[in-house]
């Protein structure tokens, strides 16, 4: 089991400190993570399959090593798994409180870890959060806007273009960016030298689709407006007709009353 110094270095998981007989040790780079086995296997099909038949002694004695995951990404993944085991609201709070939460690429990497470990519920929840972060309206001045474009570009590059699910989420992020980013400033930030050609192409693809949708909405609105105008004209004619008929009836009533009085 990891010593106290190793646990203290793992700031996100210090509060867990599971007992040896209920824990599993994960080694990632120079960081050692000691995590609750029951929670991990409950929320990960990957770990459930690997640890299902392992005894407590085997879990304590053996360390699962990952050489292709950054420690901070595994740390965040474990935090999110723990928070989600408590409640969805705590997971959302933890995402929002995360020091790196404004860096989309960080969340993308953690989302990819959740996909790798087959944590389906967390994968879905993180994906939904990432899709909403195409643009943050707090970034209102030019320097902030340029930083945010680079932030989205870095996240775009982190997605695996050969995985359909990642390409789909990547497209959702770009679409959200196009929907939320102030259009009057879009041209100025797209001139940044460090934006990838693929990212720029995806931006223009999303922008074209948005323009097409907007044009269709405008046409539909005009059509509905014309229909409403026609309906209004018809109703006005009907009102005039009814007023005329009411007037005629009033005249007839008046004549009848005159005849009766006579």
Instruction: Give helix 164-180 / helix 142-158 axis angle, nearest 10°.
Output: 170
Domain range enclosing 32: 1-121
Say if 139 falls within a structural domain.
no
User: Which of helix, strand or coil describes residue 31?
Assistant: strand
Q: Could you give the CA distance from residue 70 to residue 117 in angstroms, rounded to a whole number?
A: 14
Say if 80 falls within a structural domain.
yes
pLDDT at 126: 87
| 97 or 126: which leads in pLDDT | 126
Q: pLDDT digit string (tens) for 133-175?
A: 776 666 666 677 777 888 888 889 999 999 999 999 998 888 8
Q: Could you give the CA distance from residue 187 to residue 125 in angstroms, rounded to a whole number?
A: 33
pLDDT at 15: 44
pLDDT at 21: 58
The structure's pTM equals 0.69
Q: What is the separation of C-alpha 166 from the centre of its chain, rounded to a whole number of angstroms?
A: 13
Say if 165 falls within a structural domain.
no
Say if 59 falls within a structural domain.
yes
Alpha helices (H) along the chain:
4-9, 37-43, 45-51, 56-61, 71-86, 88-97, 104-116, 120-132, 142-158, 164-180, 186-189, 197-261
Spell out the residues 6+ positions from residue 103 whose beta carbon is closer than 8 angstroms to its own. Answer: 151, 154
Q: Could you give the CA distance from residue 218 to residue 213 in angstroms, rounded to a whole number?
A: 9
Tokens matching residue 41: 């296997």
| 109 or 185: which leads in pLDDT | 109
- The total of structural domains in the chain comes to 1
Average pLDDT in the 12-19 region? 48
Say if 206 falls within a structural domain.
no
Say if 163 falls within a structural domain.
no
Average pLDDT in the 202-206 region? 83
Say if 248 falls within a structural domain.
no
CATH of the domain at 3: 3.30.710.10
pLDDT at 211: 74
- Name the average pLDDT for the chain: 78
Say if 22 falls within a structural domain.
yes
| 94 or 125: which leads in pLDDT | 125
């Amino acid at each position: 089991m990891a010593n106290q110094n190793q646990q203290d270095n793992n700031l996100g998981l210090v509060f867990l400190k599971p007992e040896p007989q209920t824990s599993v040790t994960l080694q990632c780079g120079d960081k050692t993570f000691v995590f609750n086995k029951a929670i991990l296997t409950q929320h990960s099909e990957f770990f459930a399959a690997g640890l299902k038949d392992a005894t407590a002694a085997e879990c304590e004695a053996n360390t699962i090593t990952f050489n292709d995951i950054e420690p901070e990404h595994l740390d965040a993944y474990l935090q999110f798994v723990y928070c989600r085991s408590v409640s969805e609201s705590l997971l959302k709070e933890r995402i929002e409180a995360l020091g790196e939460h404004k860096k989309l690429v960080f969340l993308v990497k953690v989302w990819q870890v959740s996909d790798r470990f087959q944590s389906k519920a967390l994968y879905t929840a993180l994906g939904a959060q990432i899709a909403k972060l195409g643009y943050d309206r707090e970034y209102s001045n030019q320097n902030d806007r340029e930083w945010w474009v680079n932030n989205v570009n870095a996240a775009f590059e982190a997605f695996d273009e050969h995985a359909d699910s990642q390409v789909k989420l990547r497209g959702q992020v770009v679409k959200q960016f196009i929907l939320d980013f102030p259009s009057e400033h879009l041209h100025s930030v797209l001139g940044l030298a460090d934006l990838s050609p693929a990212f720029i192409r995806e931006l223009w693809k999303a922008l074209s689709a948005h323009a097409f949708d907007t044009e269709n909405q405008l046409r539909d609105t005009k059509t509905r407006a014309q229909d409403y105008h026609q309906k209004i004209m018809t109703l006005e004619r009907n009102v005039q007709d009814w007023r005329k008929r009411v007037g005629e009836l009033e005249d007839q009533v008046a004549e009848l009353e005159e005849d009766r009085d006579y």
